[in-house]
Amino acid sequence: MGPRDDVPPGVLPGLGAGTAAEPGGRRAGGGRAPARSSARPASRDREITTDRPVARVAALVPLAHLDRPFDYLVPASMAADAVPGARVRVRFAGRLVDGFVLARLDRSEHDGRLAPLTRVISPEPVLTPAVARLARAVADRCAGTLADVLRLAVPPRHAGAEAEAPPPPPAAHPPPPPPAARAPPRGPVGTSPPRRRG
């Protein structure tokens, strides 16, 4: 499976669209999760951003029938941090799950109501397009889910490492000097050493 040419910029290729789990515990398949008093997402009352208000998220749900990305609204307070590749937390089927932002879009293909992102865990874009394509290909080839492959492909978050300043880029080294001239072979050119007889 190769990368698709019809993927818009800012989208991690090879990952199609789905619909978000709605607030109140509605599942993507239309069924309802058991009612809970804590089913209300923390970001429900926040203002939604106007700049690419939809985040396509790969929720880390290991169920094969839910192995697709889902769309969520991006609250204005999270707009700068919810970049493609960032870790987020979303409400999915009545519970909080982690995931990765795959793309930011102007609108969703889903006609229903979208749930907002609950939290940006880390604004660091740890899921690169190349890793996303490879994870999707591995999941398809090995009959696994994208969530299972991403758990193994992307290292767990270490807040201390994120707080440290990134190391400076390596200094440019001058090109190596040309190799020293070899000493000419002994004896006349084109002759071989004498053979021993006997």
> Where is average pLDDT lowest: 18-22, 113-117, 130-134?
18-22
> Where is average pLDDT lowest: 8-17, 152-161, 171-180?
8-17
Which residue in 28, 127, 22 sits closest to 73, CA to CA?
22
| pLDDT band per the 50, 70, 90 thresholds, residue 143 | confident
Check: pTM over 0.85? Answer yes or no: no
Mean pLDDT of the 23-50 span: 50
pLDDT for 42-99, tens place per residue?
A: 445 468 888 899 999 999 998 989 889 999 999 988 889 999 999 999 999 889 999 9
Tokens of 1: 């499976």
Q: How far is CA 97 from each of CA 8, 82, 197, rounded to the nearest angstrom?
A: 26, 16, 84
CB-based contacts of 164, cutoff 8 Å, min separation 6: none
